[in-house]
Amino acid sequence: MRFIPRFTDGRACPQPLGKIVCVGRNYAEHARELDNPVPSEPLLFIKPATSAVSLEEAIDAPFARGEVHFETELALLVGETLKDVGAAEAERAIVGIGLALDLTLRDVQGKLKEKGHPWEVAKGFDGACPMSAFLPLGEVPNWSALAFTLAVDGEERQHGHGADMLFPVPDLVAEMSRHFTLEPGDVVLTGTPAGVGELPRGAELRLSLTGGLEVVTRVVD
């Protein structure tokens, strides 16, 4: 069944989930931990809507296809159509903030990168984007003050802070709108901080975000 985005107050989002627009290497330390160059402009890619599942449900990852890695990211729900807009207009169009996991088939991705092929097979499979409910936004937040964490079996593994993004949220969303028209119901993932790693079978994951959002889930063994 197709994933339906919801707000934390229980309301369903007015539009169905659209595309999920992502950015790679938006945190310098994450780029370095994977021995990748730090980019001078956003490295964009798209996950299909069929990759989204509820983060509150157990994560059933395709371990038979090789190592599955977790990448915790701030997720933004778009509420207005954006096409080639500036930063101020882009940030006013964001109507919700949540958390998501950009699950990655790391072995598969490595082979694709060696051949110079696109990453979608490693990033866009069914279930590749477990996503939380969204905190509704009444006003533009202080993006640089937002912080989020991921703990695996009680051990903090990732800590992201808006101030550490190479491409801050307003500029990032504006840049995305120059390449892809963003529509109501689209979701933007803003990149992952350092600390990514292999998703352990049977592990408990606890994700939290400034503003009171916390999700606890488990990986299917």
Domain CATH code at residue 68: 3.90.850.10
What is the residue range of 125's domain?
20-218
**Strand segments (E) across 94-203:** 94-101, 104-105, 129-131, 135-136, 147-152, 155-161, 187-189, 197-198
The answer to whether residue 169 sits within a structural domain is yes
User: What's residue 179's pLDDT?
Assistant: 97
User: What's residue 139's pLDDT?
Assistant: 86
The answer to whether residue 61 sits within a structural domain is yes
User: What's residue 31's pLDDT?
Assistant: 58
**How far is CA 204 from its chain centroid?**
19
The answer to whether residue 14 sits within a structural domain is no
CB-based contact 218:61 (threshold 8 Å): no
User: What's residue 184's pLDDT?
Assistant: 97
- Nearest to 97, CA basis, from 192, 195, 196, 5: 5
How does residue 90 score in pLDDT terms, banded at 50, 70 and 90?
Answer: very high
User: 207 by DSSP, 3-state: which?
Assistant: strand
The answer to whether residue 150 sits within a structural domain is yes
User: 132 by DSSP, 3-state: which?
Assistant: coil
What average pLDDT does this structure show over 132-151?
Answer: 94
User: What's residue 34's pLDDT?
Assistant: 67
What average pLDDT does this structure show over 9-23?
Answer: 94
How does residue 19 score in pLDDT terms, banded at 50, 70 and 90?
Answer: very high
What average pLDDT does this structure show over 32-39?
Answer: 71
pTM reported for the whole predicted model: 0.94
pLDDT over 90 at 2, yes or no: no
Residues whose CB falls within 8 Å of the CB of residue 135, separated by 6 or more in sequence, listed in order: 7, 8, 96, 97, 98, 209, 211, 212, 213
Q: How many domains does the chain have?
A: 1
Condensed to tens digits (0 to 9), the pLDDT of residues 37-57 reads 777 899 999 999 999 999 999
The answer to whether residue 15 sits within a structural domain is no
